[in-house]
Chains A and B, each alone.
Chain A
Amino acid sequence: GQQLNQSPQSMFIQEGEDVSMNCTSSSIFNTWLWYKQDPGEGPVLLIALYKAGELTSNGRLTAQFGITRKDSFLNISASIPSDVGIYFCAGRISNTGNQFYFGTGTSLTVIP
């Protein structure tokens, strides 16, 4: 299957700091999604991106669909303790229907 490289693998930051993480692929994707997963729960959708260059915000979260269509970025501004969790990117190649490929996740720890 497709491999999505997500970095960094983990982050430890102080409350109030901004966070950036990214996801890259060897294939061109037509949709990028960003999810957050808390322990013992399923992933929850944060932001969906459908066009190259698209920049979308959801509160303190901003994500961008890379121009090459092979990457995406997620930024979190002014982090708070409840931002703790694992963040996953997921992408879809146009010819694979509803199959989304997930990255390996970025584990975020926010130190109060």
Chain B
Amino acid sequence: GAGVSQTPSNKVTEKGKYVELRCDPISGHTALYWYRQSLGQGPEFLIYFQGTGAADDSGLPNDRFFAVRPEGSVSTLKIQRTERGDSAVYLCASSVTGDGEKFFGPGTRLTVL
């Protein structure tokens, strides 16, 4: 069975550009999470989806960050007008239910030049 997959694995962009990061959760998992992990730090919560709706987006740092999950499976994290400080590994996780064990993907390493 496939785990959580994330694409691309690496993304290099220039300051000011727009990027999209994709997460394919484990089939049947209703809960999906996005985290950001800076070098030498633990993952930092960004947003949690239950089905198609964002149940908790309190971790999004500002309005340049937005995420969608239109059909309750695949999710896309969108970052507008990227800044060098956005450089980090963006992790996605899914769980069967909101209280279930989270399974993490390998992450997308974003580098903003």
Interface residues of A (CB under 8 A from B): 1, 4, 6, 40-45, 48, 88, 90, 97-105
- Greatest chain A CB density within 10 A among B42, B48, B105, B106 is at B42
Interface residue? B20 (CB, 8 A): no
B107 at the interface (CB under 8 A from A): yes
26 A-B pairs whose Cβ atoms sit less than 8 Å apart in the complex: A1-B59, A6-B42, A41-B107, A42-B4, A42-B91, A42-B93, A42-B105, A42-B106, A43-B104, A45-B102, A88-B43, A90-B42, A97-B48, A97-B56, A97-B98, A98-B48, A98-B55, A98-B99, A99-B45, A99-B48, A99-B58, A100-B45, A101-B45, A102-B43, A104-B40, A104-B41
Residues on B with C-beta less than 8 A from A90 are 42
Task: Using C-beta atoms within 8 Å of the partner chain, give the interface range for chain B.
Answer: 20 to 34
Q: Are A45 and B101 in contact (CB under 8 A)?
A: yes
A5 to B106, CA, bound (A): 25
User: In whole angstroms, what is the CA distance A4 to B44 when docked?
Assistant: 12
